[in-house]
Chain A
Amino acid sequence: MSNILEAISMNKKVELGKDNELHILKDVNLDIEEGEFVSVMGPSGSGKSTLLYNVSGMDRITSGSVKFKDCEIGTLKEEELAKIRLNHMGFIFQDINLLKNLSLIDNIMFPALVSKDADKNAVYQKAKKLMEMTGIEKLADNTITQGSGGQLQRVAICRALINDPDIIFGDEPTGALDSKSSADIMSILAEINNEGTTIMLVTHDAKVAAKTERILFMVDGNLVAQKKMSKYDNQHDDIKKREESIMKWLVENGF
């Protein structure tokens, strides 16, 4: 399979003040294949989220190269990058980040309706289908103050999927949820991945990582190790065993 994402010698530095520069990502090399389900782990401040935002073009790298489907995104103009985000990428955040003044279904439809030639009816049908898939179809006309954290995160997933993205980036998508909601969200993501969408997410939680097929481990801005596993099969795989194996691997790598 071909790579959907490729980073070579990627560096990210941030100026914090006069003579105070923070080197967050240090010569990171990375590739993600189409259809892969990858998680990024590491201690707080290791640069996991920064990695996610830089490979997705949300932030600009300081040096090196990032290619999305063979397109060098580091050199793209703001408008071109926005177009890629709109049509080929989806994002899910820990803080959910929905638009305040839109209902839940409008939040889902909005990225699709922005296109000039959007077929409103088709978009609506698709949004309904996504809401059914994630079990929130009854909440369509609710506002964002009328939903639980888990429900809103499902809305965010639906929104990320509305334009049929090639890849979904998740920054601790289950970080603020209870264990039941967290498990539900991960099941939905696994299902999406099974249908062919590449997923890259950042997490602290081994339980979450256990449902992915490759784990990248970061320490102090360096990608220090990676663990390749089989795709998680709900029917046959023992999640506990996968989780224990990940924990053991993390400890071996100094977590």
Chain B
Amino acid sequence: MFLKMVKNDFVRQKIVTISVFVFIAMAVLLGASAINNIANLIQSMSDLQERAVPADITQMHSGEFDQAEIDKFTEEQRENIAMQETMDLLTLDGSNIHFGNNQTMAGTVQDISFVVQNKKFDFIMDLDNKKLDVTKGEVAVPIYFMQQYDLKIGDTITVKSGEYENEFVISDYARDYEMNSSLTSSKRFVINQADYNEMLLKQAGELEYLIEFKLHENGDSQGLQTAYIEGGLPANGPTVGGKIFLMFNAMSDAAVAMVIILISVLLIIIASLCIRLTLLATIDEDLREIGVMKAIGISKKDIKKVYLNKYRVMSVVAGIIGYLLSFAVVNLFNGNMRLYISSDLSGNLKYVLSLIAPLLVYFMIVMYCKKVLKRIDKISAVVALRKDSMERGKNQKYSFPLLKNKFFSTNIYMGLRDVWKRFKLYRLLFFIFIVCTFIVILPINIYNTMNSPEFSTYMGIGKSDMRIDLRRTDSITEDFKKLQEELKNDLDIEKYASYITSSYQVKNAEDSWDYMNIETGDFSIFPLNYLEGRAPEGEGEISLSFANASKDGLNKNVGDEVAVNVGGEEKNLKVTGIYQDITNGGKTAKAHTSLGVNDEAVLWYIVYMDVAQGVDIREKMDYYQNAYDSAQVNDIKEYTRQTLGNIIDQMSTVVIGAFAIAVIIAVLITALFLRMLLSKDMSQIAIMRSMGLTSKNIKHQYMAGTMMVLILGIIVGVLASNYLGELLVSMAMSTMGAAKIEFVHVVWQTWLLCPLVLIVVVGFTIFVSCKVAVKDDLSVVLRS
């Protein structure tokens, strides 16, 4: 009996039912896919971690090194350290690596190191998550470079450095737990021990060390780091904790899952609003029947059941379909994970966890229906049967009289005032248009911001035309001096500024000493936007990155003091400002030149410059690249692009996907809404037609109303994505070190192109959906 009623109701409201069904199924589909993705991520991350056995503490170092000291330290710290291994790296410049048709990797911002597979832990894996075992003459290339330069297995790369020249055949891709992410600035190429020895012998590349520690389960990581530094062991490079690798690896997939969950939640809200609209319209239509049912003694509970069962059946069927389809759809989202984390995502956890989505959606829909159906309780049998009596005597204030209309035709004005008069009805559409615009504009804003030179603000650098990085060669100090001389005399260079980053000991929040990289130089030449305060301008001043100043870092505010060990002497520097920086794990600092250079621990030199007007930046870049072999010369945009790596590419996919989803939702809901609105207004439309209004006149009324809602929705949507979006993105990015993102607005895209496309597409839907011509005789509606 109830199934029959559900079936009849379905036939009565085919389109509405199908649309609501699709929304519920889509919500479950996306929700289940996102949960599936997260389950896969958890399982494959732990699998990769188990196989790769990443280090808990990695200390980078270049220069003098004695393994015996490390071994001694390891013995002393046996209660913390389970294993220790030092990986030797031969670091080369991108220009030393040749591939394809005379191409090199010179443009990369990544540090390239050639290594041999470790023996105890921190293993580099192949795409099957097996330990890489590379034979002589072969190389395993990091996945990052495989994507960046489209390298295939069987291709060759040639390493040329000084006297050394050797051709390697790519035998595998290297899945590197510690250095997979584009946010980690080094990448490891795995070669055979014999090849490595030859490279070392012929002095190809700079020798560096990764001094790695694997701790016991309860090992004290912080204590060990302090002991290491206090022991005066080799440590002129950054120290990296194991957690940061986990975060970098999971970040892009977790972010994608979050976005999908967000869309899924939006779809549930949209489905609920549609159900509300449908249920209320149905109750309105069936008022008399409800009255009859009550009059003949059917209980409220049973009457509600009639309406509720339809949605119960729908949620169950849509839930099952969404759940099953999610296993196919999830493959669209997990490409990145399959490449970087695990090619085999066959774990069982996802089947159980994904069930959360359909169950949650089912309970939410049923609860919501019950809430809406409470309205039935308020209907008494008599009132329902004498429907008209309900409407009498209400005291309403009359607004928007027809004579007040000065600008529009009467029909257009009728449509516009209808929105005001029945805003409760139109608010669903208004909300949908806001959400759709938000979905379209927010990714565009993020994409444009990431793609803009202004993004350098969030990388702790001011805006300039180009930068030259001098890193990791013995000759950098000489090169740096030479470069400065040359720049001074180069008339094509309008201005330049040099910065030296070296490692200093800094007193942390627990009053022990940590190493911190401090960049010194004149920060007034290429000013950076500060979150708070200003750049260090004089002696005894320092500014900290947001992550460094936060509670997890040094826990300092502007005006506080930081104790820095400079040449064995403790100096207190005053914090003048806090800036945003997502590079180097977010923890950086800047101090005035007067701090002096810690010559023994210089990590890198960077020179920023603006070229004079009319000078070709590209030519200038090529010139300096040729003149300084080991330098990395980049324009700022390219630097940003490479650091953000595939996040920008993923974002461009999101822009297109979001646009498609938004347009589909907007078109579907508009068509659905107008259909329900026109059916609700059938009698009013018939009255207008009896007076002599044409279908066209009436169509204009509805078009004017819905178009106004669309335009207002778009305006609010754009504003929301500009301001609220900024806030949301800032919140998300604050974990990475940028707490106040300001979007770069490409006005013609956000205020013109996207709104115009939405207006045209939805406008066309409105035009097509506004079918007011009644095929039946008018009297049928008027007399019913």
List the interface of chain A (C-beta within 8 A of B): 49-50, 53, 58-60, 78-79, 82-87, 89, 91, 93, 95, 97-103, 105-106, 109-111, 113-114, 116, 118, 120, 124, 141-143, 145-146, 159, 163
Nearest Cβ in chain B — how far from A16, in angstroms? 12
User: In the bound complex, do residue A145 and residue B392 qualify as a contact, i.e. CB atoms below 8 Å apart?
Assistant: yes
User: In the bound complex, do residue A120 and residue B692 qualify as a contact, i.e. CB atoms below 8 Å apart?
Assistant: no
User: In the bound complex, do residue A86 and residue B691 qualify as a contact, i.e. CB atoms below 8 Å apart?
Assistant: yes
Known contacts being A143-B396, A145-B393, is A50 close to B695, with CB within 8 Å? Answer: no
Which residues does chain A contribute within 8 Å of B782, judged by CB atoms?
Answer: 58, 93, 95, 97
- Distance, CA A49 to CA B691, complexed state (A): 17
Contact of A91 among B394, B401, B691 (CB under 8 A): B691
Known contacts being A60-B777, A99-B684, is A114 close to B402, with CB within 8 Å? Answer: no
User: In the bound complex, do residue A159 and residue B778 qualify as a contact, i.e. CB atoms below 8 Å apart?
Assistant: no
Known contacts being A145-B392, A159-B691, is A59 close to B777, with CB within 8 Å? Answer: yes
Known contacts being A113-B410, A114-B411, A146-B393, is A99 close to B687, with CB within 8 Å? Answer: yes
User: In the bound complex, do residue B689 and residue A49 qualify as a contact, i.e. CB atoms below 8 Å apart?
Assistant: no
Contact of B694 among A82, A141, A145 (CB under 8 A): A82
User: In the bound complex, do residue A113 and residue B692 qualify as a contact, i.e. CB atoms below 8 Å apart?
Assistant: no
List the interface of chain B (C-beta within 8 A of A): 391-396, 398, 401-403, 409-411, 417-418, 421-422, 683-684, 687-697, 773, 777-779, 782-783
Nearest Cβ in chain A — how far from B782, in angstroms? 7
User: In the bound complex, do residue B403 and residue A120 qualify as a contact, i.e. CB atoms below 8 Å apart?
Assistant: yes
Which residues does chain A contribute within 8 Å of B695, judged by CB atoms?
Answer: 78
Q: Which residue, B402, B417, B777, B778, has most C-beta atoms of chain A within 10 A?
A: B402
Q: Which residue, B391, B393, B396, B773, has most C-beta atoms of chain A within 10 A?
A: B396
Nearest Cβ in chain B — how far from A185, in angstroms? 19
List 13 additional A-B contacts (Cβ < 8 Å) besides A84-B692, A95-B782, A99-B688: A78-B773, A82-B692, A83-B692, A86-B693, A97-B690, A100-B684, A103-B398, A109-B403, A113-B402, A114-B411, A116-B409, A143-B396, A145-B392
Which residues does chain A contribute within 8 Å of B773, judged by CB atoms?
Answer: 78
User: In the bound complex, do residue B403 and residue A82 qualify as a contact, i.e. CB atoms below 8 Å apart?
Assistant: no
Which residues does chain A contribute within 8 Å of B418, judged by CB atoms?
Answer: 101
Which residues does chain B contribute within 8 Å of A101, judged by CB atoms?
Answer: 417-418, 421-422
Q: List 20 A-B contacts (CB under 8 A).
A: A49-B783, A50-B779, A58-B777, A59-B778, A60-B777, A82-B689, A82-B694, A85-B691, A89-B692, A91-B691, A97-B782, A99-B684, A101-B421, A102-B402, A110-B410, A113-B410, A114-B692, A141-B401, A142-B398, A146-B394
- Distance, CA A34 to CA B579, complexed state (A): 89
User: In the bound complex, do residue A110 and residue B779 qualify as a contact, i.e. CB atoms below 8 Å apart?
Assistant: no
Chain B residue with Cβ nearest A57 = B778
User: In the bound complex, do residue B777 and residue A53 qualify as a contact, i.e. CB atoms below 8 Å apart?
Assistant: yes
User: In the bound complex, do residue B692 and residue A87 qualify as a contact, i.e. CB atoms below 8 Å apart?
Assistant: yes
- Distance, CA A87 to CA B691, complexed state (A): 9
Chain B residue with Cβ nearest A91 = B690
Which residues does chain B contribute within 8 Å of A163, judged by CB atoms?
Answer: 692
User: In the bound complex, do residue A114 and residue B778 qualify as a contact, i.e. CB atoms below 8 Å apart?
Assistant: no
Which residues does chain A contribute within 8 Å of B697, judged by CB atoms?
Answer: 82, 114
Chain B residue with Cβ nearest A176 = B388
Which residues does chain A contribute within 8 Å of B403, judged by CB atoms?
Answer: 109, 120, 124
Which residues does chain A contribute within 8 Å of B410, judged by CB atoms?
Answer: 110, 113-114, 118
Which residues does chain B contribute within 8 Å of A105, judged by CB atoms?
Answer: 401
Nearest Cβ in chain B — how far from A54, in angstroms? 8
Chain B residue with Cβ nearest A121 = B403
User: In the bound complex, do residue B694 and residue A78 qualify as a contact, i.e. CB atoms below 8 Å apart?
Assistant: yes
Which residues does chain A contribute within 8 Å of B779, judged by CB atoms?
Answer: 49-50, 53, 58-59
Which residues does chain B contribute within 8 Å of A83, judged by CB atoms?
Answer: 692, 694
User: In the bound complex, do residue B398 and residue A141 qualify as a contact, i.e. CB atoms below 8 Å apart?
Assistant: yes
User: In the bound complex, do residue A79 and residue B696 qualify as a contact, i.e. CB atoms below 8 Å apart?
Assistant: yes
Contact of A111 among B392, B395, B401, B691 (CB under 8 A): B691
Nearest Cβ in chain A — how far from B418, in angstroms? 7
Nearest Cβ in chain A — how far from B399, in angstroms? 10
User: In the bound complex, do residue A146 and residue B690 qualify as a contact, i.e. CB atoms below 8 Å apart?
Assistant: no
Which residues does chain B contribute within 8 Å of A89, judged by CB atoms?
Answer: 692
- Distance, CA A95 to CA B779, complexed state (A): 12
User: In the bound complex, do residue B778 and residue A58 qualify as a contact, i.e. CB atoms below 8 Å apart?
Assistant: yes
Q: Which residue, B688, B689, B777, has most C-beta atoms of chain A within 10 A?
A: B777
- Distance, CA A127 to CA B96, complexed state (A): 91
Contact of B693 among A82, A91, A100 (CB under 8 A): A82
- Distance, CA A86 to CA B396, complexed state (A): 30
- Distance, CA A110 to CA B782, complexed state (A): 19
- Distance, CA A45 to CA B231, complexed state (A): 108
Which residues does chain B contribute within 8 Å of A114, judged by CB atoms?
Answer: 410-411, 692-693, 697
Which residues does chain B contribute within 8 Å of A53, judged by CB atoms?
Answer: 777-779
